[in-house]
Amino acid sequence: MSRPVSFQHLAPEYVQRFEAYVPSKPDDELKKLFGCSHLFRLNNNENPLGPCPSAVQVIRDFVPSQASVYPSGDCWHLRQKLAEQHGMEPDQFLFGNGANEVIAFVIKAFCQKGDNIITADKTFAVYEWVAEFSGIEARRVPLKDYGFDDDEMIRSINDRTKILFVCNPNNPTGTYWDAGTLRGFLNRVNGRQIVVVDEAYCEYVENPDFPDSMAMIAEYPNLVVFRTFSKMHALAGLRIGYLAGSREAVDIIRRTCVVYSVNTLAQAAAFAVLNDNGEHVQHTRNLVRRQKQVLTEYLAGQGLPFLSGEGNFVMIRLPMSDSLAYRRLMMQGVMIRTMTGFRFPNWIRVTMALSDAMDAFMTGLESILT
């Protein structure tokens, strides 16, 4: 017989209250569950073209004996390369097991009991989740016209606010702050808080008014920029992302980071991406632009409201529950993201993919709406 353990006593109240995120099951399980022979995953904003050819080659050439050796603990070569590319210092970059992990580094570095972070109510939820399961208050400012509300975020600051998280462009609405808006925001924050700009989708933005946030770090030492290799660069399965900031900010954040959390293969593939000629990025942008156009024309024809901004995804409002739509699309082998969890009930988010997947989605949508 097992001995009784008082988990209530052991776990902090904010951990007990927190509801764990449930990831989707693997494809083979889902196919059995929904009785479909094929599955198009349009739920995670992955790049259907896969990594650039040079990264593919690096992955193919991986020497198995390397698996037994620890990776570079601080992604040495990647940081050298980024420093060279951006005219910064290697110590201004910090890598993690996906951008998801660096979110936790920053919150751990700056927040203690009684502090708060500020973000939007309808954005990437990991900022508020990490805050909440760490016992830190997450203040959620409602979106304005589907975008981050700079004025209201400034008004929500109090003397315990440590970090402001801005998702730029925003997942899931596709809106973004231009350079002037970000600069105005940083001027008003005036160094009193850390401002995190999460640029997970920046490689999809082609408009020149998008901020050059890396260059702004020299002027704003409280600015921290997140980037990932998961979305445009198609290395989601290898888990690698990073943050950039002033030397002073990164010196603090580095104390809370997990060493060796980025594996050897991820580092090698990301290094190939940094040295790539950019052709693959252009191909991906072209694909996404084309598929958005096809899809949004279709949606307009169907009279369905949608949001199509920056990034490789489109949001659609359905005249039915998003979870019902999810189940019925799954039966046809199409997986989308339900948006109730993002506080957009009856909305879904769809990743732009190859034509077979997009056709399957549109056919599926038509069948569940009629």
Ligand X SMILES: *Cc1c(COP(=O)(O)O)cnc(C)c1O
CB 86 within 8 A of CB 111: no
Residue 104: CB minimum distance to ligand X, A: 10
Site membership for ligand X, residue 333 (CB under 6 A): no
Q: What is the DSSP letter of 20?
A: P
Give the nearest distance from C-beta 311 to ligand X in angstroms: 8
Give me the amino acid identity at 255: R
Which residue, 198 or 310, has its beta carbon nearer to ligand X? 198
C-alpha to C-alpha distance for 135 and 237, rounded to whole angstroms: 29
Nearer to ligand X, 92 or 170 (CB): 170
Considering the complex, state which of residue 101 and residue 150 has its C-beta at the smaller distance from ligand X. Answer: 101
Q: Tell me the C-alpha distance between 362 and 320, whole Å.
A: 16
| CB closer to ligand X, 166 vs 360 | 166
> Nearest approach, Cβ of 229 to ligand X (angstroms)?
7
Q: Are 275 and 86 in contact (CB under 8 A)?
A: no
Among 46, 128, 137, 198, binds ligand X (CB under 6 A): 198
- DSSP string spanning 294-313? HHHHHHHHHT--EE--SSSE
Shortest Cβ 45–ligand X spacing (Å)? 6
204-209-213-219 Cα dihedral, nearest 10 degrees:
180
| DSSP letter assigned to residue 185 | H
Count of residues that interact with ligand X, criterion CB under 6 A = 13
Q: Using CB under 6 A, which residues numbered 167 to 196 contact ligand X?
A: 167, 171
The nearest distance, CB 300 to ligand X, in angstroms, is: 26
Shortest Cβ 364–ligand X spacing (Å) = 24
Residue number with CB closer to ligand X (105 or 124): 124
- Residue with smaller CB distance to ligand X, 311 or 364: 311
The interface region with ligand X, picked from 107-115, 134-142, 184-192, 223-231 by CB under 6 A, is 223-231
Which is nearer to ligand X, 129 or 326 (by Cβ)? 129
Closest CA to 94 of 216, 257, 223, 235: 257
Supply the minimum distance, in Å, between the C-beta of residue 7 and ligand X. Answer: 29
3-class secondary-structure state, position 35: coil
- Cβ atoms of 250 and 87 within 8 Å: the answer is no
Taking CB under 6 A as the criterion, which residues in 228-247 touch ligand X?
A: 228, 230-231, 236, 241
Contact indicator for 226, 241 with CB cutoff of 8 Å: yes
User: What gap in Å lies between CA 36 and CA 280, rounded to an integer?
Assistant: 32
First-to-final CA distance of the chain:
56
Q: Least Å distance between CB 200 and ligand X?
A: 3
Task: List binders of ligand X among 135-154 (CB under 6 A).
Answer: none
Where would I find the beta strands (DSSP E) of 310-346?
313-317, 334-335, 337-338
Would you say 100 or 116 has its CB closer to ligand X? 100
**Cβ-based nearer residue to ligand X, 270 or 295:** 270
Helix (H, G, I), strand (E, B) or coil at 92: helix
x-or-dash string of contact with ligand X, 94-133, rule CB under 6 A = ----xxx-----------------------x---------
Strand partners, 347: 317
Q: How far is the CB of 2 from ligand X (least distance, A)?
A: 36
CB of 288 closer than 8 Å to CB of 280: no
**d(C-alpha 170, C-alpha 245), whole Å:** 20
CB of 172 to ligand X, least distance (A): 8
Residue 157 is which amino acid? I
Q: CA-to-CA distance for 311 and 171, rounded, in angstroms?
A: 8
Cβ-based nearer residue to ligand X, 198 or 322 = 198
The dihedral through the CA atoms of 99, 87, 166, 18 has a sign that is positive
Applying CB under 6 A, among 200, 202, 268, 272 the residue interacting with ligand X is 200
Interacting residues toward ligand X by CB under 6 A: 98-100, 124, 167, 171, 198, 200, 228, 230-231, 236, 241
